[in-house]
């Protein structure tokens, strides 16, 4: 099937690069987002997020007429939903954005259209999405009603890209595609093969949903091991960075790097979807989440102990993003740590984040955003929370007169 027009709903860290990837293959792409700022920025040929190479792709796509953004969904041949799936109180999955997107596109669906959910979701969400659309469009049939003879085809295809490398990985990485029927899977594969050079592997929707949750839970469990190891090493006066380097020389050992916690909209969130679906069985996954969620508190306690050496210490937090060299602050442990330090040391906390121009709402008015050199001069205590390239380039000599709490091993690798 020739999908001439593709609509991407949700123009964030995944949706916008995906829209640009389709546009680069000369598909007509209609991007949909609830943010007028995002829509206006994209229609100027610019971008509202930080991701290497994305600015050039979007500018070219808009200039050449292959990409256009709008607030209101329009008819298309294929629809990709790439909206957030956070959790609410009690770590319960919050699907309101998926529901809103489903109900928004339902009025413009026509017979033969394909709808793909890309949002990382609890098992069963793709089926729920189809049910929401069926409620709005009783004149059309969906796979849960008519199987292979349905008017609308439904599939799930989760992203699996690394922030900072999204453009390359969107094209090169394998994709797992799970349709509500085999034909749904095949049509979705045809769509993605227009730009994906990796293998497009077919399965059913529930397995595709669980696959993404499994991938991120695997990472979370292994990061929890590294984070727990770092706390043990502090207690035993062992350099955890050297220990991991030595242990990883074993041919079958590959320990990850510890940090101040785990952030981002995937690894810090997705394991809870499994726990919610199978709370009695997901014991290890729950424990890993608990270990990683407790690490910011451990870092804050270390800072508080160090602060006792000073009367009114200036504390500099280096980094707010959840990982290096990006501007994504979602679920960032660095933001949580800076916020709590600002509560405990009011007026004494400065923050350096080279990838953002304004502070997030949680920190606005509580801390001061400043340049790196200024922070290095003023601070008594430096807390390295993100290993941005700018921080790794600092001469280690500049840290020598400071109390440094290095959660990322920046100085260990200097």
Among residues 145, 141, 134, 150, the alpha carbon closest in space to that of 183 is found at 150
**Which alpha helices (DSSP H) does 237-323 contain, by range?**
240-247, 270-277, 283-307
**What is the CATH T-level fold of the domain 249-406, as seen in this structure?**
Rossmann fold (3.40.50)
> Would you tell me which CATH number, out of the four given (3.50.50.60, 1.20.1260.10, 2.40.30.30, 3.40.50.720), belongs to the domain 5-198?
3.40.50.720
Q: Which of 27, 157, 212, 323 is catalytic?
A: 212
Mean pLDDT, rounded, of the chain: 96
Model confidence band, residue 164 (pLDDT cutoffs 50, 70, 90): confident
A 10 A CB-CB count for 154 gives 27
| Interatomic CA distance for residues 115 and 152, integer angstroms | 7
| Model confidence pLDDT, tens digit, residues 237-256 | 999 999 999 999 999 999 99
Of the residues 266, 295, 317, 323, only one is catalytic, namely 266
* pLDDT for position 1: 75
Do 263 and 333 form a contact (C-beta atoms < 8 A)? yes
Residue 226: which H helix or E strand, with range? helix 205-236
Q: Are 161 and 169 in contact (CB under 8 A)?
A: yes
Interval 57-76 mean pLDDT = 98
Question: What is the average per-residue pLDDT within 64-88?
Answer: 96
Q: What is the pTM of this model?
A: 0.90
Mean pLDDT within 199-205: 98
CA distance 161 to 222: 18
pLDDT score recorded for residue 414: 65
Write out pLDDT tens, residues 313-347: 999 999 999 999 988 898 999 999 999 999 999 99
Would you place residue 162 in the very low, low, confident or very high pLDDT band (cuts 50, 70, 90)?
A: confident
Q: Is 370 a catalytic residue?
A: no
Q: How is residue 320 written in tokens?
A: 């707010």
Q: Which part of the chain is CATH 3.40.50.720?
A: 5-198, 249-406
Report the C-alpha gap between 303 and 59 in whole angstroms: 44
Count of C-beta atoms within a 10 Å radius of residue 53: 13
Closest listed residue to residue 289, CA positions, set 311, 313, 273: 273
Q: Mind giving me the DSSP string for 105-164?
A: HGGG--TT-EEEE-S---TTHHHHHHHHHHHH-TTS--HHHHGGG-SSEEEE------TT
């Amino acid at each position: 099937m020739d999908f001439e027009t593709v609509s991407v709903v949700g123009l964030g860290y995944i949706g916008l690069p995906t829209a640009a990837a389709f546009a680069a293959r000369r598909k007509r792409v209609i991007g949909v987002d609830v943010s007028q700022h995002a829509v206006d920025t994209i229609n100027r040929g610019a971008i509202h997020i930080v991701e290497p190479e994305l600015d050039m792709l979007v500018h070219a796509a808009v200039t050449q007429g292959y990409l256009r953004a709008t607030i209101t969904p329009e008819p298309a041949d294929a629809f990709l939903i790439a909206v957030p799936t956070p959790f609410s109180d009690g770590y319960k999955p919050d699907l309101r954005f998926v529901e809103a997107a489903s109900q928004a596109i339902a009025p413009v669906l026509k017979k033969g259209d394909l709808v793909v959910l890309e949002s990382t979701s609890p098992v069963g969400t793709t089926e729920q999405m189809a049910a929401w659309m069926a409620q709005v469009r009783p004149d059309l049939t969906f796979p849960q009603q008519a199987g292979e003879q349905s008017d609308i085809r439904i599939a799930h295809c989760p992203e699996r890209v690394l922030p900072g490398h999204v453009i390359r990985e969107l094209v090169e990485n394998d994709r797992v595609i799970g349709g509500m029927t085999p034909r749904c899977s095949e049509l979705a594969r045809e769509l993605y093969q227009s730009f994906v050079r990796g293998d497009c592997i077919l399965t059913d929707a529930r397995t595709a949903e669980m696959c993404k949750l499994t991938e991120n839970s695997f990472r979370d469990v292994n990061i929890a091991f590294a984070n727990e190891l770092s706390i043990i090493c502090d207690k035993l006066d062992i350099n955890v960075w050297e220990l991991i380097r030595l242990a990883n020389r074993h041919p079958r050992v590959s320990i990850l790097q510890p940090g101040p916690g785990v952030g981002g909209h995937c690894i810090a969130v997705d394991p809870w979807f499994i726990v919610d679906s199978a709370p009695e069985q997901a014991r290890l996954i729950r424990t890993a989440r608990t270990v990683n969620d407790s690490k910011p508190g451990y870092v804050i306690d270390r800072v508080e102990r160090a602060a006792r050496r000073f009367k009114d210490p200036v504390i500099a937090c280096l980094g707010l993003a959840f990982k290096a060299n990006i501007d994504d602050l979602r679920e960032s442990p660095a933001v949580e740590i800076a916020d709590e330090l600002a509560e405990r040391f009011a007026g004494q906390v400065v923050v350096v984040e080279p990838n953002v121009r304004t502070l997030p709402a949680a920190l606005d008015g509580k801390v001061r955003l400043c340049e790196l050199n200024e922070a290095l001069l003023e601070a008594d205590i430096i807390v390295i929370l993100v290993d941005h390239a700018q921080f790794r380039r600092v001469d280690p000599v500049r840290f020598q007169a400071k109390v440094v709490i290095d959660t990322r091993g920046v100085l260990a690798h200097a």
